[in-house]
Amino acid sequence: MIERRPAGALGRFRNDWLNARYHFSFSDWHDPARMGWGDLRVWNDDEIAAGRGFPAHGHADMEIITYVRQGAITHEDSLGNRGRTGAGDVQVMSAGSGIRHAETNLEEETTTLFQIWIQPTSRGGAPSWGARAFPKGDRAGAFVTLATGRDDGDDGALPIRADARVLGATLKAGDAATYGLAPGRHAYLAAARGEIDVNGVRLEARDGAAIRDEPMLSVRALVDAEVVLVDTR
């Protein structure tokens, strides 16, 4: 089962500095049919104006993964962490028992990113933050694990406290990458750029796809493409 979710049909929010699309119910946009997918709770597609961003606010009991597509985002939190995550790279915040953070675009261009929230396997625990650069060359033609809470030997992936895996791939036109989806698992996939075919279902840039009961995913690039995939229980 693959349900395409066109970018034009997603929830929307816009003000003077943020242009956001919501794959699942978020903030003031509510769709009872789109409250999550497995343990995946939020997938936001954000465009943040230069010099602007989200002021300090709190989170608890959520794994928050940020995948930057263009520009960069600068993170600051109540633990004293500060870091800049650039295009193609990933940051992870385990909110745990509670953390406050701010996310600001300090660049001279618009920053675009996916913000992904996954429910943790247990509540509480000490909050944490981490970031890592993932060279796009390492993702050429195959899915690479960017963040994981599974003990699958994904060396170098950022840790999360969830029964989930976040993966990325870059594909040249005509190339394909495969991913095996275990029984009972949920996958959600979005084309960060380009156009792709997923087991015969065509996705354009920024479309999403909710997937289950597909033992093997074959993702083929119709033009040069960048893909982000989440596998959850």
* Cα–Cα distance for residue pair 114/68, rounded to 1 Å: 6
**Alpha-carbon gap, residue 207 to 5, rounded angstroms:** 6
Hey, what amino acid is at 94?
Answer: S
Summarize pLDDT for 16-59 with one digit per residue, the tens.
999 999 999 999 999 999 999 999 999 999 999 999 999 999 99
The pLDDT score that the predictor gives to residue 97 is 98
In 49-153, where do the E strands start and end?
A: 53-59, 63-70, 72-77, 82-86, 90-94, 99-104, 111-118, 128-132, 144-148
List the domain range (segments joined by +) for residue 75: 2-232
List b or e across 133-153, with b for residues whose CB sees 16 or more CB atoms inside 10 angstroms: ebeeeebeeebbbbbbbeeee
Half-sphere exposure at residue 194, Cβ-oriented, CA atoms within 13 angstroms? 22
Q: How many domains does the chain have?
A: 1
The domain spanning residue 24 has which CATH number? 2.60.120.10
Task: Please give the model's pTM, rounded to 2 decimal places.
Answer: 0.96
Residue 7, classified by CB atoms within 10 Å of its CB into exposed (0-12), middle (13-18) or buried (19+), is middle
pLDDT at residue 33, as a whole number = 93
* pLDDT 10s digits, 123-168: 999 999 999 988 777 788 999 999 999 887 677 899 999 999 999 9
Query: What number is the average pLDDT over the span 58-83?
Result: 98
